Amino acid sequence: MTIVLAVAACGGHYHGSAIGPDRGLGCYVVQVEPQDTAVEAFPDTIALISSRFENRPDFYGTRVTLSQGGRHPSLALLWRPLRRDSLHILGRSDSLRLDFRGRFNDHGFEGTVESLAGIIGAERRSRSQVHALRADCLGF
């Protein structure tokens, strides 16, 4: 049943000219380079979904696999399209902030994620490149 729900949630169609969330709806396999402890929270698989994020109505929700959610259970990830070809993904938890900005391409999206990890006075910043490829929505 979980797989059926995930397929329904990720089943958006790609529309290259769309301004709304339809442009990015779907599932992606993600590579982050260089990988370090601060950005390891950025999921290696992510589903961009069309449900509005409750506390930020200008953003939409995401889904990650159970293994990803178990590694960082308090990390809330949300996304929004920017213009016709760009997107913004935010991640927030008590001790980590992720800020991804990138562009859609024919195969998925790519861009840069910046992270701020730690507590006030002991923060660590890092920046990594992200490459995401469209994938089937199984396992969510």
Give 72-118 pLDDT, tens digit per residue. 677 889 999 998 899 999 998 888 889 999 999 999 999 999 988 87
- Does residue 114 contact residue 130 with C-beta atoms inside 8 Å? no
- Reported confidence tier of residue 69, pLDDT bands at 50, 70, 90: low
Which residue segment(s) compose the domain that 27 sits in? 2-135
Helix (H) or strand (E) holding 8: helix 2-9
Helix (H) or strand (E) holding 71: helix 66-71
pTM: 0.78
pLDDT digits (tens, 9 = 90+) for 34-45: 876 656 778 888
- Does residue 48 contact residue 62 with C-beta atoms inside 8 Å? yes
Does residue 129 belong to any structural domain of this protein? yes
Does residue 80 belong to any structural domain of this protein? yes
Q: How many domains does the chain have?
A: 1
Does residue 20 belong to any structural domain of this protein? yes
C-alpha R_g of the chain: 14
Does residue 18 belong to any structural domain of this protein? yes
- Does residue 32 contact residue 113 with C-beta atoms inside 8 Å? yes
- Does residue 81 contact residue 19 with C-beta atoms inside 8 Å? yes
Does residue 140 belong to any structural domain of this protein? no
pLDDT digits (tens, 9 = 90+) for 118-134: 766 667 788 899 999 99
Comparing 13-22, 71-80, 131-140, which segment has the lowest mean pLDDT?
A: 13-22
Q: Rounded mean pLDDT of 7-34?
A: 65
Q: Quick one: pLDDT at residue 86? A: 94
